[in-house]
């Protein structure tokens, strides 16, 4: 597990504590939707926390997913452009990176009202969200996206494919 992922899990526990809840109270308040043993496993890092579950749990605590992804100085300093056409082509593959990136891209386009459907500018927070969802560092996330041909522009320069 990367240091960033471990820090995000500590923040997840912090959100629960800030909400004034024990693990058992989370289970009760959620009417069993969030089992105490599962949430505890997420917080300890003994169970994989998917991006979707992280978003849902943050919403349950009344927080935004960005509360888990504020890792300080980021390696992402300039624009990153995601190729939504390529992402669409890869959607049928049973690939966690593609699945999570697709979910995030859908959520971003919905929230931003951006429906041009060909490219998506990724902001620093978007990359941090992918870090949390994939349990990887910024560099690893960028490399995984590049290998799949999903990044068109990195740090203001077109990528050569």
User: Do 96 and 121 fall within a single domain?
Assistant: yes
Written as six digits, the tokens of 139 are: 């560099």
pLDDT, averaged across the chain: 80
Picking from 42, 68, 94, the residue at the C-terminal end of a domain is: 68
pTM over 0.85: no
Per-residue pLDDT reduced to its tens digit, 7-43: 788 888 888 887 888 999 999 999 999 999 999 999 9
Written as six digits, the tokens of 123 are: 């902001």
Q: How does DSSP assign 62-129, residue by residue?
A: T--GGGG---SS-S--S-EEEEHHHHHHHTTS--HHHHHHHHHHHHHHHHHT----SEEEEPHHHHHH
Question: Can you give the CATH number for the domain in which 63 is found?
Answer: 1.10.260.40
Residue 18: φ, ψ to 5° = -65, -30
- Average pLDDT score over residue span 85-101: 87
Distance CA 8, CA 32 (A): 24
Written as six digits, the tokens of 82 are: 């995601």
- Confidence (pLDDT) at 24: 96
Give residue 116's domain range: 80-158
**Would 105 be classed as within a structural domain?**
yes
> Is it the case that residue 158 has pLDDT exceeding 50?
no
* Beta carbons within 10 angstroms of residue 130's beta carbon: 23
Per-residue pLDDT reduced to its tens digit, 36-81: 999 999 999 899 888 888 888 988 988 777 777 643 334 343 467 8
């Amino acid at each position: 597990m990367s240091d960033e992922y471990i820090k995000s899990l500590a923040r997840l526990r912090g959100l629960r504590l800030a909400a004034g809840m024990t693990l058992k109270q989370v289970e009760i308040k959620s009417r069993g939707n969030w089992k105490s043993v599962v949430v505890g496993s997420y917080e300890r890092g003994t169970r994989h926390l998917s991006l979707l579950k992280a978003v849902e749990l943050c919403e349950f605590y009344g927080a935004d997913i960005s509360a888990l992804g504020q890792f300080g100085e980021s390696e992402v300093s300039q624009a990153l452009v995601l190729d939504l056409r390529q992402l669409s082509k890869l959607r049928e593959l049973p690939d966690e990176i593609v699945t999570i990136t697709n979910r995030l891209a859908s959520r971003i386009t919905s929230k931003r009202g951006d429906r041009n459907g060909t490219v998506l500018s990724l902001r620093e927070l978007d990359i941090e969200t992918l870090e949390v969802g994939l349990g990887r560092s910024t560099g690893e996330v960028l490399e995984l996206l590049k290998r799949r041909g999903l990044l068109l522009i990195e740090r203001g320069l077109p990528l050569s494919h």
